[in-house]
Amino acid sequence: MLLNALRSCSARCQATSRTALVQITSRTFSSSLSRSFPQIDSLRIAGVLGNTQPTTLSTSRILPYLNHARLHSSSKKSEQVGAASPDAPSSEPLPILPRPSVGGWLLFSSTLVFAVIVVGGVTRLTESGLSITEWRPITGILPPLNHDEWMTEFNKYKATPEFKLMNSAITLEDFKFIFFMEWGHRVLGRLIGLAFVGPLAYLALRKKISRSMTTRMTGLALLIGAQGAMGWYMVKSGLEDSFLETPGAVPRVSQYRLASHLGLAFLLYLGMFGSGMAIIKDWKYANGAAWSGVTGQKISAILQNPVVRRIKIFSWGLAGLVLLTALSGAFVAGLDAGLLYNEFPLMGGRLAPPTAELFDPAYAKSADKSDLWWRNIFENPTTVQFDHRVLATTTYIAAAALYAQTFKPAVRAALPPLTRTAITAAFAMANVQVLLGITTLLYLVPVPLAALHQAGSVMLLSAMVHVLITLRRPGAAARLWRASKAAQKK
């Protein structure tokens, strides 16, 4: 009897231990399964495992959940792999990055603007700008096609103050030359509008450029129209009959309007040239090219370097000085100031003309002479030439100082290699421009030298823009594209 009691107790203990072991195993398996396959509800696992008797913990009860978990986990992994695949569409597409062809289009447009600036200078130098007395943006594209049409245009010119006071002996053949100079200048301006607006409309409609860039380019398109309107407003100032009523007056366009006309052309050129260069460099950077010749260094760290920041600020100031000097040249051309004091560096045997000549009271128009200073600065040919000399000399000294900075070890180590090369090119162009200016003055402003001098101002400005482009951080779109391509290669 005692033996039977001991056997019964032993059986109960074994059953109890097996039940506890199953419960512990069930909870452990449930926890492990939940961690491996979180998509299976832990409560459902507990319902199958935790409340199951040892005899009913079969494969048929667990296998459906394992299969479901395996399929669901495989689906999630395939989604993750698909998202990381270069060929799979991203949930957040990359921003629009203009292709190099867009940059080429802008550089081509800037080249046309460069050409119209030079042709405009030649038109001014040959005194051809007042030969067309009307502004017809559409029909004016065709020149006279027969003798009668030529005589009609010639008779219109004969009614101008320029013909009556200066060119009364001009022949029809002479008139044809100055007419075609002005006509070519105007047709080139129209060509710029067509070459710019047409492609811009295509790129904007096909979404080849971003919305912000579309806005900026539209602003340049409007600037082309404003430039044409300013050109006619300038010409109109030289057709006024008031020249006939002023003794000793020389019919010429207003130097203020001439400077405005040239200034708008410079702004147009800078917008096209700078944007085109930036687009091409951004595309190269996005496709793995080094930034300004720098490899292995962070761009932000370079640009935040105090030495680099100082050079960049100085370059901005020098670019502004180049532009200001070029605009002062428009006043020299408008007043024929280059025909005075044809010597350098002296003016009449001294560094500066007498003060009475620089600030001649005859140019003041107000009774209290309060406009003496500014009118002499902008209307006195002697003062205008002196100012241009001072600005040009200051520009050259500043360019030389910038170039000298690149020989300092600290500056040389901090600047990107391409920036150092660009600064050298800018200083070389400054030397060429100074030589052109001096020779133009010494030889009494011959047309070829004067035209080259005006072209040189654009080239020098372009060189300074290139310096600034090399110190420009790549655009946000280019940075994102580069990061995306780098991630795809990993």
Q: So what's the pLDDT on residue 409? A: 96
Contacts of 351 (CB under 8 A, 6+ apart): 345
Take residue 300 and report the two structure tokens written for it.
Answer: 């932000």
184 vs 141: CA distance, rounded Å: 9
CA distance 89 to 83: 7
Residue 70 per-residue DSSP state: H
Tell me how far CA of residue 159 lies from CA of 57, 150, 186, 187, in angstroms. Answer: 114, 15, 21, 24
Classify residue 207 as left (phi > 0), alpha (psi -120 to 50) or beta: left
Query: Long-range contacts of range 293-299, CB-CB < 8 Å, 24 or more positions apart?
Result: 293/416, 293/417, 293/418, 294/416, 294/417, 299/473, 299/474
Question: How far, CA to CA in Å, does 365 sit from each of 229, 359, 376?
Answer: 29, 13, 11
Classify residue 127 as left (phi > 0), alpha (psi -120 to 50) or beta: left
Q: What angle do CA 371, 376, 378 make, to 5 degrees?
A: 100
Residue 288: CA atoms inside 13 Å, Cβ hemisphere, count?
A: 5
Q: Which amino acid is at 484?
A: S
User: CA–CA separation, 10 vs 4, rounded Å?
Assistant: 10
Q: Look up the pTM and report it.
A: 0.81
Task: With H, G, I as helix, E, B as strand and everything else as coil, classify residue 291.
Answer: strand
Q: How far is CA 263 from CA 24, 421, 451, in A?
A: 87, 28, 17
d(C-alpha 77, C-alpha 105), whole Å: 45
Q: What is the mean pLDDT of each run of 10 residues along the chain (490 residues)?
A: 45 47 43 46 42 43 44 40 38 88 98 97 95 92 95 96 94 96 96 97 96 97 96 96 88 96 98 97 95 90 96 98 98 96 95 96 94 96 98 98 97 96 98 98 97 98 98 95 89
Residue 327's pLDDT is what? Answer: 98
Handedness of CA 29, 32, 37, 38 (dihedral sign): positive
* pLDDT score at 296: 81
Helices and strands (H and E) in the chain: how many? 19, 0
SS3 144: coil
CA distances, 488 to each of 99, 136, 315, 447, 478 (Å)? 20, 56, 38, 58, 15
Only one residue has tokens 């460069």, namely: 114
Task: Answer yes or no: are the C-beta atoms of 52 and 26 closer than 8 Å.
Answer: yes
Find out whether 264 and 257 touch, Cβ atoms under 8 Å.
no
pLDDT for 489 equals 84
CB distance 239 to 133 below 8 Å: yes
CA end-to-end distance (rounded Å), the chain: 78
Classify the C-alpha dihedral 289-293-297-298 as positive or negative: negative
Dihedral sign (CA 260, 265, 268, 273): negative
Burial letters 196-212, b for 16+ CB under 10 A, else e: bbebbeebbeeebbbee
- Domain spans of the chain, in order of start: 100-289, 293-483
Q: What angle do CA 215, 221, 223 make, to 5 degrees?
A: 105
- Residue 164, both tokens: 């009556």
- C-alpha 486/C-alpha 468 separation (Å) is 27
List the beta bridge partners of residue 291: 294
C-alpha dist (Å) from residue 131 to 29, 243, 418: 98, 16, 47
